[in-house]
Amino acid sequence: MKKNKVILFLTALFALCHQDSTNAQQGIRGYLLGEYAISENWVNSHLTLLDYTTFQRETTELLTSKVLLNANNMLIAKTWDSTLVNYQIYIINNIINSARLSSGMYGNNGKPDDYLGWIEFADGIEKPLYESSPLGYIVQFLYMLQENGWKDKLPENKVWWDRVLNFVEIHEWKKWGERSYYKYAHYIRKRNYMGANWAIVALYLKKLSSNQELITQYNEVLDIYNTLLKRNLKPNPKHPDAYIWNSSWDDLSGIWVQGITPDTVDLQDVAHANSIINYIIAAYEIGEPDWTIDDIHRMCNTAKKVIYDPVSNNFVRNIDGTDIDFNNGSSAFGNVGDGWVKLSKYDPGVKAVMKEFVKNKDKYPYLYQPILFAAYFYGE
């Protein structure tokens, strides 16, 4: 891709729906203030922190931008408030507008090419894990706009929608596919919670794309991921109606993805399992046949019977109900806002547990959970 084409693409894309950050945030504040908020000042300061602007260009900051993307999608699905829709557009514009041409990025220690992306300042590397983190919510938003009819209401709506889809398919999916030495290795990953980010992207893109070659890839990646994840999920020995699983792949037989080899076996931690929960819920709700209401119910039982401790009113570290530090990245106690809380829709017991957890003023504020809880439970 020529550099001048990239410049023209970005100029056209972000001239549309650009608006001032302060005005854009006004629409969401009212939704986030209430019984789930820590304070008005907390909400205001964290909105500023999470609002990914064109001046923030480090790939690690994509990890925080996903909080507002997630919250906005939950609120939009409930209200279809046009201010929230415009705010989501604003954030997505900021994210994509902050991407830089790989071959032109100062300090890029990777393999520069003509794709757009971000680097981590500490090591100068572009990272598929960080980039995939907000992508699921971006393509979920595109899917929502398609299903709601927004995409086709105005010509400029479709122009924006098409260009964002084009960015995701080219500068995310194709980029990491071509950069991988091994087919699909960047999507499946060695840990299932990492692969869940790309599985969510594939889940929605196969519904949005018109590129048959890419649709084939989305379906193949989903087939592989679903098969491997299904093999990992096992009945919990102490709670047979709940799931237990490792974050490393248990059984790769017959599903050969070069470059994906058995990793150090680690029990899944609760925090990273948010990605798994998000994927299974999204897959079930979009009609992916591999995932059923039984899987949802087993995850609900895991949430309320295994990982929640009523004595401490907190969620434990690991998916087996223990707080043992297995050195598997499981440092985040009480982190359930990104995915686990969404199981409340399917089980009143889970909802009761989540609403009780809000009273834990030590752990509940962790990782911006009040924003996610306020969005999820808005209107209830």
What pLDDT does 130 receive? Answer: 93
Answer whether 221's CB lies under 8 Å from 198's CB: yes
Residues 213 and 154 in one domain: no
Residues 205 and 101 in one domain: no
Counting residues of the chain whose pLDDT is more than 70, the rounded percentage is: 89
The two beta strands, 239-244 and 100-101, are: unpaired
Answer whether 314's CB lies under 8 Å from 359's CB: no
Residues 278 and 148 in one domain: no
d(CA 192, CA 319): 14
Neighbouring CB atoms inside 10 A of 42's CB total 16
d(CA 10, CA 26): 26
Calculate mean pLDDT across residues 305-323. Answer: 94
Residues 135 and 193 in one domain: no
Structural domain boundaries enclosing 285: 180-380
Residues 330 and 205 in one domain: yes
User: To which H or E segment does residue 355 belong?
Assistant: helix 348-357
Residues 159 and 209 in one domain: no
Say which range, 262-266, 305-309, 318-322, 356-360, has the weakest mean pLDDT: 262-266
What pLDDT does 13 receive? Answer: 45
Burial of 253 (0-12, 13-18, 19+ CB in 10 A): exposed
Residues 281 and 228 in one domain: yes
Answer whether 344's CB lies under 8 Å from 336's CB: no
Of residues 364, 379, 380, 378, the one with CA closest to residue 39: 364
**Which stretch, 97-106, 163-172, 319-328, has highest mean pLDDT?**
163-172
Residues 275 and 334 in one domain: yes
Q: Which residues contact 139 (CB under 8 A, 6 or more apart)?
A: 165, 168, 200, 201, 204, 205, 208
Domain count, the chain: 2
Which of 179, 203, 225 is the last residue before a domain boundary?
Answer: 179
Residues 91 and 238 in one domain: no
pLDDT at position 9 over 50: no
Answer whether 12's CB lies under 8 Å from 163's CB: yes
Tokens matching residue 150:
């927004």
Which of 179, 198, 228 is the last residue before a domain boundary?
Answer: 179
Residues 258 and 357 in one domain: yes
What pLDDT does 254 receive? Answer: 82
Of residues 281, 318, 300, the one with CA closest to residue 241: 300
Torsion-angle region of 79 (φ positive above 0: left; ψ -120 to 50: alpha; else: beta) = alpha
d(CA 361, CA 100): 40
Which of 179, 214, 231 is the last residue before a domain boundary?
Answer: 179
Residues 172 and 189 in one domain: no
What pLDDT does 106 receive? Answer: 82
3-state secondary structure of 139: helix
What pLDDT does 4 receive? Answer: 47
Residues 72 and 82 in one domain: yes
